[in-house]
Structure 1
Amino acid sequence: MGDIWTTIRSMGWNLTHRLGIIDIIDILIVAVIIYELLLLTRHTRGSALLKGLFLLFVIVILSNILGLTSLNWLLLAVLQNGALVLVILFQPELRKALERMGRSRLITKGNHRNEDEDTEIIIDEIIQTVVDLSRRRVGALIVFERKTGLQDVIETGTALNAEISAPLLENIFEPNTPLHDGAVVIREDRIMAAACILPLAEASGVIRGLGTRHRAAVGISENTDAAVIVVSEQTGIISLAMDGSLQRPYSIDAMRSFLHGFYSSKVSSISSFLRGIFKRHTEG
């Protein structure tokens, strides 16, 4: 029962009395692992489990301070089997992490496309979709999640969690199909849901004369930082709604520039930064 507290006290003493270069590197590695775990569990049920485990750890500390011996013993017994519990609870996230490691360029040695090539393919698929729908005058609403989570919007539609591809997107918006009426929500490189319901903007001079599709695009951009590409069913004109305003018409070059900015901001994580440093040192 006291093993965990002994370990914690030992770690605290080492941090305050014996902190060296190796210790700093060790702490940074652990920090990166925790950060990646948080990224993997973000927007999943795993995030709620992590919060539960953190709360459990806090209760253990409080029960020890308050002298609640029985409760402290029970919770410590659970934590001492924490490795097995974590594997069971986070099996999907751990599998995803191992698959990501297996696809790493350091392991595959160039057998897979790099991140830049993957991003270009995704952008080309989206642009091809928008151009084809515009040419055929098929209405579309494509919402790009940015910093503000759109899980509440995703839950109003039909969950997909599919890879981005032009055939899939065009099929979703095809008239008289089950999912054509509503918005598609894209989170990073995944189509999270289709037929989602968006809040409507109040009628204003900016969108006077436009239909429900454009009002929905402006509405979600007013309430969140999401960006929305709209294709008009009547005219085929492409628009972009962002920060509560509507840019119309919206050129293909401008759309490509926006998508490059959107996806470049998504890959600027700590792990990408560290991989860049490692790559420069190995090539230098």
Structure 2
Amino acid sequence: MEIFEFLSYKDILDILGVSAIVYAVLYFLRITKAIQILKGLMLIALVWVVALFLDLKAVSTIFEKFWTVGLFSLVVIFQPEIRKALSRLGQATKLSPSTSLEERVVERIVRACSFMSERQIGALIVIERRQDLEPILEGCVSLDAVVSVELLITLFDPLAPLHDGAVIIRGNRIAYASCVLPLSKSKDIPRRYGTRHRAGLGISEESDAVAIIVSEETGEISVAVGGKLHRNLDPEGLKSLLFKELGIGK
């Protein structure tokens, strides 16, 4: 095509750079749900343009000061979201393979969740993938134990000292128990879901981890991944979803 005859490698790099910046901004807006604030800023910018067009000097001066202070304020306000976005963006471009689970380990997790579901034992199991979860975990008890059906059930027994909090599975081992996870601030979570579901969603929003939640009220099994909740799964549905998300059997 003729257009490429007028493009140098610098022009191509320039276009790719702008595309990357636009993608990063759109990605940030999507995962932080900041689109409403963007609409507000666009409205303010429109008012500013009108003020300039009508030569309203006082209003124009106020808006000029607003942009100077406002940009710094946005950085402060969105500091947690910016950190999360950069973390997720970096994770998305990471080239190293994730720590994979063996099929038999996933089957043990499914069997344990099925047992607890039938007896309405609450549970929260988080499977770590590419992203290291340690920076966003609190209050964990280190285990480094083999994943077994019996151990998972024992850890979430209501009378067990470690039953509150989440179990973290790293590779083919249980790395931590009784972990406190960041809670989701989403307003779309049904009221019938409590702290356990909010924690599962929260860790899936902050990282690429897969969280399995067993409700102690209903025995319902759910999986949180990528900030979305897959509800009311039976053991076969849970196994199929975990195999898909963890890349097992491809």
TM-score, normalising length: structure 2: 0.56
Letter in 1 for 2:208: D
- Using the TM superposition, give the Cα deviation of residue 154 of structure 1 relative to its aligned residue in structure 2, in angstroms: 5.2
Report the counterpart of residue 162 of structure 2 in structure 1. Answer: 179
- Measure the CA separation in 2 of the matches of 1:130 and 1:212: 18
Distance 2:145 2:136 in 1: 17
Q: Does 1:250 align with 2:250?
A: no
One-letter code aligned to 1:142: I
2:207 matches 1:224: yes
Stretches of 4+ moved more than 3 A in 1? 261-265
Does residue 1:161 correspond to 2:126, yes or no? no
The whole-number CA distance in structure 2 between the counterparts of 1:227 and 1:201 is: 14
- What secondary structure, in the 3-state scheme, does the structure 2 residue paired with 1:152 have? helix
Give me the identity figure in percent.
42
- Post-superposition offset of 1:193: 0.3
**In structure 2, what is the equivalent of residue 125 of structure 1?**
108
Distance 1:216 1:245, change over 3 A: same
Amino acid at match of 2:129: R
Question: Which among 232, 237, 241 is matched to residue 224 of structure 2?
Answer: 241
Identify if the C-alpha distance between structure 1 residues 155 and 212 changes in structure 2 by more than 3 Å, giving closer, same or farther: closer
Equivalenced residues, count: 151
- Report how far residue 162 of structure 1 moved: 0.7
- The aligned amino acid for 2:132 is G
Q: Structure 1 residues 190 and 155, CA, compared in 2 at 3 Å: closer, same or farther? A: farther
Which amino acid counterpart does residue 124 of structure 2 have in structure 1?
Answer: L
Amino acid aligned to 1:259: L
Cα separation, 1, equivalents of 2:136 and 2:119: 27
Q: 1:148 aligns with which of 125, 131, 154?
A: 131
Cα 1:153–1:160, aligned 2, differ >3 Å: closer, same or farther? Answer: farther
1:154–1:185 CA contact under 8 A, matched in 2: no
Indicate conservation of the 8 Å contact 1:154/1:193, yes or no. no
Secondary structure at 2:144 match in 1 = strand
What are the residue-to-residue correspondences of 1:1-284 with 2, within 5 Å? Answer: 119-153=102-136, 156-264=139-247
Distance 2:241 2:183 in 1: 23
Deviation, 1:122, is 1.3
Structure having greater relative contact order (Cα 8 Å, sep ≥ 6)? 2
After superposition, the Cα gap between the structure-2 partners of 1:122 and 1:172, relative to the gap in structure 1 and judged at 3 Å, is: same
Instruction: Give the Å deviation of 1:263.
Output: 4.7
Q: Give the C-alpha shift of residue 253 in structure 1.
A: 2.1
Counterpart Cα distance in 2 of 1:229 and 1:129: 11
Deviations 1:111-169 (A, max 9, x none): xxxxxxx9332122111100000001000000011111112345631000111000000
Q: CA RMSD in A?
A: 2.3
